[in-house]
A and B are shown apart, each in its own frame.
Chain A
Amino acid sequence: MVSAPPTLNYLNNGYGLKSWLLTKDHKRIALLYLLSITFFFFLGGFFALMIRLELLTPAADLVQPDTYNKLFTMHGVVMVFFFLIPSIPAVLGNFLIPIMIGAKDLAFPRINLASWYIYVLGGLFTIVAAITGGVDTGWTFYAPYSTSASNSHVITAGLGVFITGFSSILTGLNFIVTVHRMRAPGMTWFRLPLFVWAHYATSLIMILGTPVIAITVLLVAVERAFHLGIFDPALGGDPVLFQHLFWFYSHPAVYIMILPAMGVVAELVQAFSRKNIFGYTFVAFSSLAIAIIGFLVWGHHLFVSGQSTYAGLIFSILSFFVAIPSAVKVFNWTATIYKGSVSWDSPMLYAIGFIGLFTIGGLTGLFLATLGMDIHLHDTYFIIAHFHYVMVGGAIFGYLGGLHYWWPKITGRMYPEGWAKFAALNVFVGFNLTFFPQFIVGYLGMPRRYAMYAPEFQVYNVLSTAGATILGVGYLIPMVYFLWSLKHAPLAGDNPWGARGLEWEIPSPPPTENFPATPIVTEATHQYAPSREVGIA
């Protein structure tokens, strides 16, 4: 049943370092990204582990407060800018978007390669900042602490963020042009896989938002280096201006991280229910709605900053509006499973985990959009729990689910399903044990970024640290079996899942040119049986 892999594919089409480092093949660039973001993921994970170990006891005993401050800063910077933002787009998006729309490559293969080099350069700055002593401003770089008070390597780390932003902009640009210009005949907008819609929406944010963070970080560097008064009131600046600029990008950036994961989950739910999505247009447009409204909610990070009460009102109601398209997605995914042919393969387990955890992450977001509630919760562990439910329970679950689903396509080999199920369970249990207690300790009032804390908070921190240990093991297991699978696992064949979509019609691993001839598309993806409308019974 499973045929041998094609003799010539993108993996064996040229060996040697040069054939990889100078490749213009979107699939090879995706693998370059996979290697580099995996490195940063485990680096960021190491910082997280140190944080959790320090927080096992109320006193600052494992590391000094200064070191602790650097640990959570580096954890945030590495995870946000060097893992979460590039993760799904630069790896899975890069690999799959051209294939899913029936194209040979992205619109600008050289720019695609350049974006990886820019990412690596940005990453090197961050690593240099970490090695030479670290940075202690928090990933948010709040002024005037970052510009006038911190004695750490703010400029080096800031330049890392500044540089890697261009990688993000170029990737977004490439995706947008590719989706507009390179769809195969018959691949109309409303036949596009939802994965592509999600990446299209993400790319809009990358292009429109990233320049603002670049400017903001640059202004921090300028104020720090030349004492030009921009943010520090002692120099005539306005510190709240920094927060407006920073969150104008960094809130939409949350959607850069979650939208691609939503795209992955839409694919997983369809493939493992063998059923087309319920309410395609609503799911597709909800991605765009999230991208657009997401630009108008940044002020909810400033509810306690003393911004005008009326500005607070506007930002609050807009924040509720952005929750609606997310809710629509959750309901549609759930409805998709109804009357499906549901398999419990590991990618589906991640998808189900995603829906549950993202629901909790989204619902607790409503607490923070509620003005009177946010005052108490702001800058406590409730926030930490909330955004980890979205970033880890959401983005990382989506990433891991997608990686398992497309691993056979990427490598041509399966992975051990038993171990994969076990790891998924580990990640799910570990994740919840780590972060659910933080909702409670947050409501009790434990502030974030505390190296030392009041003794009554300890029980929840012990639970968190125990959970983080399980979670860490859950991350290491796939690392091991994925590597093992490269040589030893059975061959996957073209379509091991019985899924529908252009990527499953070509060999695994795909040939360099993806398709021998441009495919003609005659129906939307994931059509397993003829469609019908349903009424409310």
Chain B
Amino acid sequence: MFTNFPFFPQQASEQAATVDALYFFLVAVSAFFAVLIALLIVVFAVKFHRKDDSQVGEAIHGSLALELLWTLIPLGITMVMFVWGAQVFFHMTRPPKGAMEIYVVGKQWMWKVQHMDGAREINELHVPTGRPVKLIMGSEDVIHSFFIPDFRVKADVIPGRYNTLWFTATKAGRYHLFCTQYCGTKHSAMIGWVTAMEPADYQTWLSGGAGGGTMAENGAKLFQDLACATCHLENGQGRGPVLKGAYGHQVLLQSGQTVTMDDAYIRESILTPQAKIVAGFTPIMPTFQGLVTEEQLLQLIAYVKSLGESTGTGAASTAPPPGPVQKQR
């Protein structure tokens, strides 16, 4: 009945090997100490087993040297774990520049994926091997968590913010995708498959899958439909800041603080425009809360991002600083 008796998940990403190395170290240390303690206890309990009922133990008060020994040695070992674990963690939380970006939206109870070129999937994620992939993830309702065991990566997907996760798949194949943050009735059905493909196969898949335009194209259309374009003019004469070339740059706010124009800031500016007002503008932008879906938000972000990538002009150092509108209340 049980022919499948696995001990380890597959190693299908660059991260998997580094995490497994750490795991083996932790297992080795743990096994050593667990066996040591168990052995000592059993040996002592047998060797010093009470011979007659009146016998008492030898009174030993303690030993400072031993106490120091078994405080400092574990401390030293745990500090090795700490540093090693922190290195792996830093690597896992810092996606390399130029990673391929894919947007993910979690909702009860499915995963919706949008590729930059417009291809969409549900409960499936196709990625090429050998190339860093960065997932930018938001939730429509409650907290979910995106977990690919064979890649050893996981990140919570939280409503109201974007969390990211990145990996480089190393082996073509199909891998489990699980939601690991409890999210209600069908939490255990909020699962899917990640398909890692050779780059050439991936290109073929993409060309078959793309339908109604790229994410940036869809975002550009929304930008017109929602009338964003009437204020955010490209020539700097509009009532809203110039968005062209602004992505990734610092924005000076009315309050005197600065903020980096990233996915989270664009999202906030669309949903709560009054929150961070750009210096030199009036607070006239209405909220789009309830008017745009999570996926449309991501398309708008992709569009603004594409404006930044296509030109080198309009950097934050030149006035007026880009970003959404306005003045302090």
Q: Which residues of A contact B (CB under 8 A)?
A: 60, 65-66, 69, 136-138, 140, 142, 144-145, 148-150, 232-234, 238-240, 273-276, 278-282, 303-306, 309, 312-313, 316-317, 320, 323-324, 327-328, 330-332, 334-335, 337-344, 348, 352, 355-356, 359-360, 363-364, 366-367, 369-376, 378-380, 440, 443-445, 447-456, 458-459, 462, 498, 527-536
Contacts and interface: CB of A to CB of B under 8 A. Distances in A.
A145 B180 contact: no
Given A240-B158, A339-B57, A369-B82, 15 more contacts: A66-B185, A69-B184, A140-B182, A142-B142, A238-B160, A239-B158, A312-B89, A334-B40, A359-B34, A363-B33, A372-B91, A378-B154, A380-B149, A443-B9, A443-B23
Specify which of B26, B45, B65 lies most central, judged by the most chain A CB atoms within 10 Å of its CB: B45
Contacts of B145: 304, 378-379
Nearest to A269: B41
Given A65-B188, A356-B37, A372 B88 contact: yes
Interface in B31-75: 33-34, 37-38, 40-41, 44-45, 48-51, 53, 55-63, 65-67, 69-71, 74-75
Contact of B62 (A280, A317, A320, A373): A280
A337 B44 CA distance: 6
Contact of A531 (B50, B61, B188): B61
Nearest to A459: B2
Interface in B129-153: 141-143, 145, 147, 149-150, 152-153
A444 B62 contact: no
B26 A447 contact: no
Specify which of B7, B88, B143, B161 lies most central, judged by the most chain A CB atoms within 10 Å of its CB: B143
Given A138-B182, A142-B181, A528-B57, A536 B66 contact: yes
B41 A373 contact: no
Nearest to A142: B143
B77 to A, nearest CB: 9
B150 A370 contact: no
A274 B142 contact: no
Given A449-B187, A529-B56, A328 B34 contact: no
B45 A136 contact: no
Contact of A136 (B58, B65, B180, B184): B184
Contacts of B61: 276, 278, 280, 531-534
B187 A352 contact: no
B285 interface: no
B62 A528 contact: no
Contacts of A356: 34, 37-38, 41
B34 A371 contact: no
A447 B179 contact: yes
B142 A445 contact: no
A445 B176 CA distance: 9
A372 B26 contact: no
A474 B92 CA distance: 44
B112 to A, nearest CB: 18
B156 A380 contact: no
B231 interface: no
Contacts of B150: 445
Contact of B84 (A144, A275, A317, A372): A372
A452 B63 CA distance: 53
A370 B85 contact: yes
B86 to A, nearest CB: 5
Contacts of A456: 4, 6
Contact of A331 (B70, B84, B89, B185): B70
Nearest to A149: B142
B189 to A, nearest CB: 6
Interface in B88-111: 88-93, 108
B163 interface: yes
B172 interface: no
A454 B2 CA distance: 13
A316 B122 CA distance: 35
A145 B142 contact: yes
B183 interface: yes
A373 B88 contact: yes
A274 B179 contact: no
Contact of B59 (A148, A276, A317, A448): A276
